[in-house]
Amino acid sequence: MRLVVSLAEEAVGGPLPLAPTWPDGRDWALVLTHDVETAAGLAAIGPLRRLEERYGYRSSWNLVPERYRTPDDLVHSLGAGGHEIGVHGLRHDGRDLASLRLLRRRLPRIRAAAERWGAVGFRAPATQRRWDWMPLLGFDYDSSYPDTDPYEPQAGGCCTWLPFFNGDLVELPITVPQDHTVFEILGNEDESIWVEKIEFLRSRAGWRSC
């Protein structure tokens, strides 16, 4: 994009007016997400939530409807505290998008959980995704596409760190490596890879989703 703009400015002999990337004079954005994949993860929401709130943060918590029982009062408490609930697949078994037939069979239960929780966002387990099928899920946004990630079960990505549309569905790319990748696959012992990527994104007026 910068190359195209620079060439256009060279052609017209001066700077071009550019629409701002972010509203209200801001120059970057950050969203914190948590994929709550097990009952143990559900039990850990409280301590992690208190830590984040102490520093003024609010998160999106992606819950799995049919892998563990999620108390309604927990969902209501998170919402009342300014947090968000997303749906993280039906069972976290990697099969929601295995076939269109299976997706259509599971979709009513996925949608029922979304309605019960007031969830408008979706993230597929293991970031498995199908471009033509994602809008069928019926959510306002999806966050199943990394910008780039060679280590996921479905490697690759969308090659952008800015939100974009898939039909009427807003795609919010995952732009910071997931903790499993950082600590389990790459064997890092600190947060340096996150800091490096976040500083890069901030310098490019990008989107940080982690």
**202 pLDDT band (50/70/90 cuts)?**
confident
Q: Which of 135, 134, 157, 133 is nearest to 145 (CA)?
A: 157
pLDDT at 77: 97
- The tokens for 175 are 């732009």
Q: What DSSP line would sit under 54-107, residue for residue? A: HTT--EEEEE-TTTS---HHHHHHHHHTT-EEEE--SSSSS-TTS-HHHHHHHH
In the sheet with 121-122, reading across from the earlier edge strand, the strands are 164-166, 169-171, 141-142, 121-122, 84-87, 59-63, 29-36, 207-209
Where would I find the beta strands (DSSP E) of the chain? Answer: 29-36, 59-63, 84-87, 121-122, 141-142, 164-166, 169-171, 207-209
Kindly state the average pLDDT of the residues 129-149: 97
SS3 171: strand
**Beta-strand pair 207-209/169-171:** unpaired
Confidence grade of residue 25 (pLDDT, cut at 50, 70, 90): confident
User: What separation in angstroms does the CA of 92 have from each of 63, 75, 126, 166?
Assistant: 9, 19, 8, 23
Integer Cα distance of 89 and 92 in angstroms: 5
Q: What is the pTM of this model?
A: 0.89
Q: Write down the domain spans for the chain.
A: 23-209
Residue 84 tokens read as: 């968000």
Strand partners, 146: 174
Residue 116 predicted with pLDDT over 90: yes
pLDDT > 70 in the chain, percent:
98
In this predicted model, what pLDDT tens digit does every residue of 55-111 receive, in sequence order?
999 999 999 999 999 999 999 999 999 999 999 999 999 999 999 999 999 999 999
What is the average pLDDT value for the chain, to the nearest integer?
93
Residue 206 and residue 175 in contact, taking contact as beta carbons nearer than 8 Å: yes
Of the listed ranges 38-47, 107-116, 182-191, 200-209, the one predicted with least confidence:
200-209
Percent of the chain with pLDDT over 90: 81
* Residue 206: predicted pLDDT: 56
pLDDT at 23 over 90: no
Quickly name the fold that domain 23-209 has: TIM Barrel (3.20.20)
Q: Considering only residues 134 and 1, tell me which one the structure prediction assigns the higher pLDDT.
A: 134
pLDDT band at residue 209 using 50, 70 and 90 as cut-offs: low
Q: Is a pLDDT exceeding 90 seen at residue 162?
A: no
pLDDT, position 54: 97
Are 139 and 123 a contacting pair, CB within 8 Å? no
